[in-house]
Amino acid sequence: MHPFPSQLPMTSFTVSSAIISRYASTRVRCAMHNPHPTPRQAAFDLHLSPAAFITNFTMEQETQRFRVTATVASNGDISFELCYEELLQRRLGAYRYAVAIHPRQIVAELRVELSITERAGISDLRVLPFHPADTQQGMKGTHCAHIAFAPTPKEQAAFSATGLAGDFVVEYDVAQRDAVGDVEDGYFVHFFAPSGLPPIPKDIIFLIDVSGSMAGTKIKQTKAAMQSILRALRPHDRFNLVAFADAPHVWREDGPIPATTSQIRSAARYIESLEAEGWTDLDCALLAAAALLRHHGVTKEPRVPLLLLLTDGEPTMGVTQAPRILSNARRVLTPLSALLFALAFGEDADLALLRRLAAASGGMARRVPEEDEVAPQLAEFFREIENPLLRHVELSYPGATARLVAPRLFPGYFQGSELVVAGRLEPGAERLRVHVAGHGGTGELRAATEVPPDVPEVPPGCPQHPPELLGGFVRRLWAHVTIRELLRARLSAEGTAARQKLAAEATQLALRHHFVTPLTALMVVTPGGDGGSTGPPPARGDTQGPRHHHRGTIWGRFGDRQCRAPVAPPALGAPHFWG
């Protein structure tokens, strides 16, 4: 929550959240008062995690931001209420739930409440420090936990003169890692996170942007992070370095090099010698990295080819058109089954291109905000992919409707992560059957298991959740996972027809389940007063939905469809979002 400098006094800011089987439903309420003799603008500005659906609303940005404004009459009050849902992702052996608390003022009533219910049991529950730490209260059981954070105005003032500014973060893992998932009303979700597997040796190429924009703090922190990353390589790993600006500069021309002590020392000296200058030729850098992987030679042991790309800009030299860069990357990386992971530094990096490159290979891309330190983010990013455990994982479900299962194929599974599949059972199916196939460090892996249908959502001894949280919980989770997978597939699809088909499927599913995706849009209606936009106005030539602004209406557009929602004073009830 980020009020603007002239923001009205905030009388309350409350967050209530319930996590059931990794699926978090969060409600944020904010109330403001206008003590002035004239009407004033109130702004509700909320930062969310990239995996969250705001009730029936979602955006594609790495850090989602929802902003809406409304006019408040003299001596009047207004409240904002926003609900969003997200599937928590397991990274480095833990699920992480974070809610942004940035009122930028002292709030009379500030409270965060969180409940966690896991049929597989809760382990390693941690509430990360957020001063004043002694205001955190918690109860933990075998399968459920409750956490409250309610700093008084005096305690908020002790944090800073403008109150709290940070994220309230809870991390936990589940106790029974072999618990398969949930089945409800014909829908299922399957969590796959096997343990006890040996890491597969990796061939990893580090692509480091050393163009002029990396000069200063960025290149200094990148060097520091790379030193620790090099030391973390295992003896059976192989690696190489490609520093690129106007052209790629390869550390060693003879392919991936064994990660011996002497080679790591040599690579560390090379890293320290790098200087940032010149333009950015990303296309040539990718081709050079692929050429190194092709020279790895034939080995009897399985190996995982990886690319870790670090950049802060966009292509400015050589091939600069995104479609050509994508086509070239597919051509050289697909035959190698190489996974590309990218870290984008700051707002100038072409995150859209990096996401498409990563999606095409089965990897991922992430942004580091300009204000964050690069070194710890880069080190943590590497830790997530440091230990590949399986390759070419295929999850199949006899008795499930094949076209309604997503996703089914995973290029890789890494230690501390989790693979999530959601789907629908065929009518009459009595239980969920799961078949797993993949390739690990010791050979082929095959396994099978079953899950009984309609298992109780709330374990014995845990408090009952409101019906709106439990009703259709697995169905909504299935829709959430499926829409995300369709959008991811759209990123990597080749050809306009294929992208349009995936877009249409995602849009239909989103509208059916009342989610607004990057392919749909949002209009917020405020009773009385003027509104401010949540996004750009509708594009010219659009023929769907209203074409004009109404008094008290806030438009948001994120694609080729519209929807609308009210933001009301307390007496008029909470806002609703619909697709």
pLDDT tens string 108-123: 999 999 999 888 899 8
List 173's β-bridge partners, or say none. Answer: 123
Domain span holding position 354 = 202-386
Domain boundary among 495, 526, 558: 495
How many independent structural domains does the chain possess? 3
Q: Which of 357, 377, 376, 375 is nearest to 367 (CA)?
A: 377
3-state SS record for 320-376: CCHHHHHHHHHHHHHHHCCEEEEEEECCCCCHHHHHHHHHHHCCCEEEECCCCCHHH
Are residues 401 and 467 part of one domain? yes
Q: Which tokens hold the place of 219?
A: 């290149």
Average pLDDT over residues 142-148: 89
Q: Which of 455, 460, 427, 534 is nearest to 182 (CA)?
A: 455
Spell 340-362 as b/e; 16+ CB within 10 A means b: bbbbbbbeebbbebbbbbbbbbb
Task: Return the higher-pLDDT residue of 371 and 235.
Answer: 235
Residues 264-314: tens digit of each pLDDT: 999 999 999 999 999 999 999 999 999 999 986 556 778 999 999 999 989
Task: Return the higher-pLDDT residue of 20 and 243.
Answer: 243
**CATH number of domain containing 47:** 2.60.40.3680
Are residues 372 and 341 part of one domain? yes
What pLDDT does 472 receive? 73
Are residues 248 and 102 part of one domain? no
Are residues 339 and 252 part of one domain? yes
**DSSP-derived pairing of the beta strands 202-209 and 238-244:** parallel
Which of 16-30, 87-101, 479-493, 564-578 shows the lowest mean pLDDT across its residues? 564-578
**CATH number of domain containing 353:** 3.40.50.410
Percent of the chain residues past pLDDT 90, beyond the cut: 46
Q: Is residue 556 part of a domain?
A: no
Q: Which tokens hold the place of 55?
A: 């009730």
Q: Is residue 459 part of a domain?
A: yes
Are residues 250 and 166 part of one domain? no
Residues 495-554: tens digit of each pLDDT: 889 989 998 888 888 778 776 556 655 555 544 444 333 333 333 333 333 322 222 223
Are residues 211 and 78 part of one domain? no
Q: Is residue 549 part of a domain?
A: no
Q: Is residue 525 part of a domain?
A: no
134 has a pLDDT exceeding 80 = no
Are residues 447 and 426 part of one domain? yes
Task: Return the higher-pLDDT residue of 114 and 5.
Answer: 114
Residue 444's Cβ-count burial label (10 Å; 0-12, 13-18, 19+) is: exposed
Q: What angle do CA 192, 195, 200 make, to 5 degrees?
A: 100
Are residues 456 and 424 part of one domain? yes
Residues 60-70: tens digit of each pLDDT: 334 456 666 67
Q: Is residue 263 part of a domain?
A: yes
Q: Is residue 266 part of a domain?
A: yes
For residue 479, report the phi and psi dihedrals to the nearest 5 degrees: -60, -45
Are residues 232 and 349 part of one domain? yes
**Tokens 């939905």 label which residue?**
545
DSSP state of 7: P
Per-residue pLDDT band for 464 (boundaries 50, 70, 90) equals low
Average pLDDT over the chain, rounded to whole? 81
Q: Is residue 26 part of a domain?
A: yes
**CATH number of domain containing 450:** 2.60.40
Are residues 362 and 249 part of one domain? yes
Q: Which tokens hold the place of 135?
A: 């205001």
Q: Report CA 555 to chain centroid distance, whole Å.
A: 25
Q: Name 251's Cβ contacts closer than 8 Å, sequence gap at least 6.
A: 240, 241, 242, 243, 267, 270
**409 membership: H or E segment, kind and range:** strand 409-414
Q: Is residue 527 part of a domain?
A: no
Are residues 353 and 216 part of one domain? yes
- The single-letter code of the amino acid at 513 is H
Domain boundary among 468, 495, 522: 495
Domain boundary among 449, 475, 495: 495
Are residues 256 and 146 part of one domain? no
